[in-house]
Amino acid sequence: MKVILEGKEFDLSYEEQLKCSEETINEDLKNQPSLFAWYAVLQELAEAKESQAKVELEVVDASLDAKFRNELKDAKATETIIRNKVILDDLHLEKLNELNQAKKEVGILRAIVAAFSHRKDILISLASNMRVSADPELWIKKKEVAATLKPIGG
């Protein structure tokens, strides 16, 4: 997927970047913070773009409203007629499409940032499991501790 933020096009290859495995655990752990930060920054830029698109739509709507009020002042047009003319205007539709696109990009980037947060948790668990597996004594002690723990409320 590609997004355009601040005039630059970004290719979001997050599917590959979200992957992690025991074979690449060290690289995955090293790259996690920078990948998370990268997508968090893109999310912030997308949110700024969305805010700007909202403002532009409001400005266009206000301008069109004034234009149609002026054009229809002799016809004594109702608020509904003027609003409908604004909504159906090509410029309004263009700005509305831009806002909807910006909202979609923000939503996708929020999901990606959340996925990288989950990836961090997975990496921590995977690394911990690998350490325990590599040390049989630690694995046995962990099992002993788990056996002595009482369930909550029991």
Cα 69 from Cα 74, distance rounded (Å)? 9
Q: Two tokens at 24?
A: 């690449």
CA angle 47, 50, 53 (to 5 degrees): 155
pLDDT band per the 50, 70, 90 thresholds, residue 99: very high
Check residue 138 and give its pLDDT. Answer: 64
Q: What is the pLDDT of residues 136-145, one digit of tens each?
A: 676 677 777 8
**Mean pLDDT of all residues in 42-64:** 97
pLDDT band per the 50, 70, 90 thresholds, residue 85: very high
pTM score, two decimals?
0.77
Q: Two tokens at 56?
A: 């532009």
Check residue 8 and give its pLDDT. Answer: 87
Higher pLDDT, 142 or 63: 63
Residue 38 neighbours by CB under 8 Å, 6+ apart: none
